[in-house]
Amino acid sequence: MSGQARHFYAFGHFRLYPDEYLLVREGQAVPLPPRVFDTLALLVKNSGHLIEKEELMKRLWPDAFVEEANLTNNISMLRKALGETVDEHYIETVPRRGYRFVAPVSLEQEENAASLPADPPNPPSRKPGRALLAVFALLLAAVASLAYWWSGWWFGGEAKPAEVSPVKPAIKSIAVLPFKPLDSDGRDEYLGLGMADTLITKLSGLRSLIVRPTSAVRGYSSLTQDPLAAGREQMVDAVLDASLQRDGELIRVTARLLNVKDGSALWAYQCDEQYCDNIFVMQDAISEKIAVALAAQLSGAERKLLRKHHTDNQEAYHLYLKGRYYLQTRRTEEDMEKAVRCFQQAIDLDTNYALAYASLADCYVWQRLISPKESFAKAREAAARALKIDDTLAEAHFSLGTILHNFDWDWPGAEREYKRALDLNPNYALGRFWYADYLNAMGRFDEAMVEMRRALELDPISSWIDVAMGDVYLWSRQYDRAMEWYLKNLDLHLNNPSIHTSLGEIYALKGRYEEAIVEFQTAVTLSDGREHSLAALGWGYAIAGKRDEAQKVLDQLSEMSKRRYVRPYLLARIYAALGDKDRAFELLEKSYQERVGAMTLLKVDPMLDSLRRDPRFQDLLRRMRLSQ
């Protein structure tokens, strides 16, 4: 077809060829799933015009009933493929209505299309890790025999030969989905998520491989879940899809490692093992198979990590899995209490279970039912015990870093622990998030943004990282950028109260009080009246001059404090907005004495700007070692 005129749409650095199903950026094809491409084509062809959500869904899925989340995911994937930033913006979200393509578009003609890329490469936004092994194809070809050899040498069990893709894939990222329990009663739900969590922890130590965190994959446990669809949503190159089934003391595990691009199986595995005797060995084999198939080469330390067991006690391990299940799911007050009990029972059975101590420390770091003094003291004890047992445990270093950061206000010590943890596990998204939070508190916003962007690369559809990205702009007083970021991500995280709270704060700081109050009220509804959302609403009323409404919220928080701990820092914000500086400083002093973690924001919090010139404020900063 060379020499024939072809039409294309030009925008930014891109060319869109609708008839060819092709998007090109600077001569390189950008691969998009078909429905995402259709979304882009519709928006581009209607450039400058709002397309309602219902209209988009009707045209994209004409013969099916789908939820709005499908469209939201398409838009999110599209934005990431286009490499949208605050400075380079293509798609505008019109809240609660639809989307508009805002970049200038021109319809042009190309006489000779011979230069068009024939086969789309991997998206340019994915930066490669360390080089894969030069003889990667030979390794893949050897997986079948390796799988058989492993099954005989490791298990003495029965394994199916691996199915090897004839194409040499470039696998740099992977999502390990929860193992699907095939029992109808669902009794092994915790085990399915726990097995995935264990493998994620093991594989995260491989520097050549990006592994999506457990928080990103926990929602893919349905028996009807399409693993390739999950892989596309998670924007990874490969996905591990596995199931487990028990019959008395016998457990059967079936696993497939799938190439998300074409659906081919890189290998398949099935093994029957005695449930109580071999669960650790089974995990070792699966994780090492993935590593050998995908990693450039395994160092001695990495091989040791893959085979490392933090306990040999089966009962302790299952209690740990249950604890992780409660910690990783909803994080309600009830679930957190259950998690604490499970980890403590696991420790009672194995007093050298370092990973259980580290997870127990995490529970207390996140604990909101008791005072910071009590919760952080317990967290410190657990983290210290974990590190005494195993100083190479990145999770424990992160826990200790958060304690030094949020409770001790030992800024050099906190940074040292965060950097040590990231050296041990550079691909830990939550760790990048916590380090960015520390950098925000220090006023080092450029560094914070670098860490937050890295966290988002590791967990690209995370709601809490998306919100935190906007918070960097909020703390640095870039209110217009913050508002643009929150609005761009609002539809994707519509049911997350935090994004409504942050957007409400921006509206209020820009003087748009009525819009702010609507967002705060939405956050209160979505969070079932949680402390932080309710306090934000009170601050919104106060700064808008609605003193009676603000006082009613203060009364509600006072009643809440009789049942659970309420952070006085949040109340101080409300009194500062009401102009009652004396009461605000009383509550800030109480926050200082009780070591409330939110005090780390004192240097950068715009909600306290009305207090900054007061000598009492400067004295607090000095005592917290946040100023000279």
Rounded to 10 degrees, the C-alpha dihedral 621/447/483/36 comes to: -150
- Residue 233 pLDDT > 70, yes or no? yes
- For the stretch 569-592, pLDDT in tens is 999 999 999 999 999 999 999 999
212: closest CA among 192, 232, 191, 188?
Answer: 232
Give residue 513's pLDDT.
94
Strand-pair category, 238-247 with 250-259: antiparallel
- For the stretch 413-450, pLDDT in tens is 999 999 999 998 888 888 899 999 999 999 999 999 99
- Residue 86 pLDDT > 70, yes or no? no
Q: What is the Cα–Cα distance from 150 to 159, expressed in whole angstroms?
A: 9
- Residue 131 pLDDT > 50, yes or no? no
Average pLDDT estimate for 603-610: 95
Write out the two tokens for 29.
Answer: 């094809």
Q: What is the Cα–Cα distance from 600 to 591, expressed in whole angstroms?
A: 11
Write out the two tokens for 374.
Answer: 């009590």
Give residue 542's pLDDT.
96
- Report the share of the chain in percent with pLDDT over 90: 34
Q: Is the dihedral of CA 393, 397, 403, 406 positive or negative?
A: negative
Homologous superfamily, domain 136-309: ABC-type transport auxiliary lipoprotein component (3.40.50.10610)
- For the stretch 212-231, pLDDT in tens is 988 888 888 777 788 888 88
Give residue 140's pLDDT.
29
Query: Under DSSP, is residue 267 helix (H, G, I), strand (E, B) or coil?
Result: strand
CB 273 within 8 A of CB 245: no
Q: With b meaning 16 or more CB within 10 Å and e meaning fewer, what string describes 585-601?
A: bebbbebbebbbbbbbb
Q: Which of 151-165, 269-283, 477-491 has the highest mean pLDDT?
A: 477-491
Q: What is the CA radius of gyration of the chain?
A: 26
In terms of pLDDT, which residue wins out, 296 or 402? Answer: 402
Contact partners, residue 265, CB within 8 Å, separation at least 6: 162, 163, 164, 165, 256, 257, 258, 259
Q: What is the Cα–Cα distance from 164 to 258, expressed in whole angstroms?
A: 10
In terms of pLDDT, which residue wins out, 201 or 511? Answer: 511
Q: What is the Cα–Cα distance from 554 to 588, expressed in whole angstroms?
A: 16
Give residue 133's pLDDT.
25
- Residue 396 pLDDT > 80, yes or no? yes
Give residue 389's pLDDT.
93
- For the stretch 368-388, pLDDT in tens is 666 778 888 898 999 999 999
Other residues' Cβ atoms within 10 Å of the Cβ of residue 45: 15
Residue 105 gets which letter from DSSP? Answer: -
- Residue 181 pLDDT > 80, yes or no? no
- Residue 409 pLDDT > 70, yes or no? yes
Average pLDDT score, the chain: 80
**Of 45-54, 76-85, 287-296, 509-518, the least confident:** 287-296
277: closest CA among 449, 364, 157?
Answer: 157
- Residue 157 pLDDT > 50, yes or no? no
Give residue 136's pLDDT.
26
Give residue 368's pLDDT.
62
- Residue 161 pLDDT > 50, yes or no? no
Give residue 242's pLDDT.
85
Residue 611 has φ and ψ, to the nearest 5°, of -105, -10
Average pLDDT estimate for 506-513: 94
**Of 118-132, 253-267, 578-592, the least confident:** 118-132
Residues of the chain with CATH 1.10.10.10: 6-110
CATH number for domain 6-110, candidates 1.10.10.10, 1.20.1300.10, 3.40.109.10, 3.30.43.10: 1.10.10.10
Q: What is the Cα–Cα distance from 121 to 30, expressed in whole angstroms?
A: 7
Note the helical H segments in 50-135: 53-60, 68-82
**Of 64-68, 163-167, 184-188, the least confident:** 163-167
Residues of the chain with CATH 3.40.50.10610: 136-309
pTM for the model: 0.69
Other residues' Cβ atoms within 10 Å of the Cβ of residue 107: 12
- Residue 492 pLDDT > 50, yes or no? yes
Q: What is the Cα–Cα distance from 74 to 58, expressed in whole angstroms?
A: 14
In terms of pLDDT, which residue wins out, 367 or 389? Answer: 389
